[in-house]
Amino acid sequence: MAPMDPSTAFMKEYQERFEKKLKENEMALLEHWKSQLEKIESSRPDSIASLQLQIRKVSEMMANRIKVLKKG
């Protein structure tokens, strides 16, 4: 196999680092929202209405985060 030229090697390394960072960010994001859902689960809501309210709150938090990301 022929050796890679420096720019190809750089691009490959850069892409690997980018994909690794992307994966880390996705894991952090999922861990955050998983913890939010676990809080709801552990709180043991008294009624369906209470559960719906908590789910709506998490949904609004997600919507607000999406707005912030779209602005930036």
Q: What is the pLDDT of residues 44-72, one digit of tens each?
A: 888 999 999 999 999 999 999 899 989 97
Any domain includes 48: yes
Any domain includes 50: yes
Any domain includes 1: no
Strand, coil or helix: 8: helix
Q: How far apart are alpha carbons 10 and 20 in whole angstroms?
A: 15
Any domain includes 19: yes
Any domain includes 39: yes
Q: How far apart are alpha carbons 43 and 17 in whole angstroms?
A: 39
b vs e for 6-43, b when ≥16 Cβ sit within 10 Å of the residue's Cβ? eeeeeeeeeeeeeeeeeeeeeeeeeeeeeeeeeebeee
Any domain includes 16: yes
Is this model's pTM higher than 0.95 or not?
no
- Token look-up 């720019």 returns 7
Looking at the 3D structure of the chain, how many domains does it have? 1
Structural domain containing residue 31: 6-71
